[in-house]
Amino acid sequence: MDRKEITIALAGNPNSGKTTVFNNLTGARQQVGNWPGVTVERKEGRHNYLGYNIRVVDLPGVYSLTAYAPDEVIARNFIVDQKPDAVVDIIDASNLERNLYLTVQIMEMGVPLIIALNMMDMAEAKSHKIDIKALAQETGAPVVPMVASRNQGTEELLREIIKLTDTDSSNPFRMYYGQEIENEITKLEEIISKNHPSNKYPPRWLAIKLLEEDEEILKKFQEADDCLTKRS
Ordered strands of the 143-145 beta sheet: 30-34, 41-49, 52-58, 4-12, 86-92, 113-118, 143-145
Tens-digit pLDDT profile for residues 33-64: 898 888 888 999 999 999 999 999 999 999 98
Scored b (16 or more CB within 10 A) or e, 222-232 reads eeeebebbeeb
pTM: 0.87
Q: What is the pLDDT of residues 60-106, one digit of tens each?
A: 999 988 877 889 989 988 998 899 999 999 999 999 999 999 999 99
Round to whole Å and give the CA distance between 225 and 230: 9
Architecture of domain 4-167: 3-Layer(aba) Sandwich (3.40)
Q: pLDDT tens digits for 18-31?
A: 999 999 999 878 88
**pLDDT score of 226:** 59
Instruction: With a cut of 60, say whether residue 231 has pLDDT above it.
Output: no
Confidence of residue 1 (pLDDT cuts 50, 70, 90): very low
In 3D space, the residue among 91, 66, 9 whose CA is nearest the CA of residue 210 turns out to be: 66
The residue ranges of every structural domain in the chain are: 4-167, 179-231
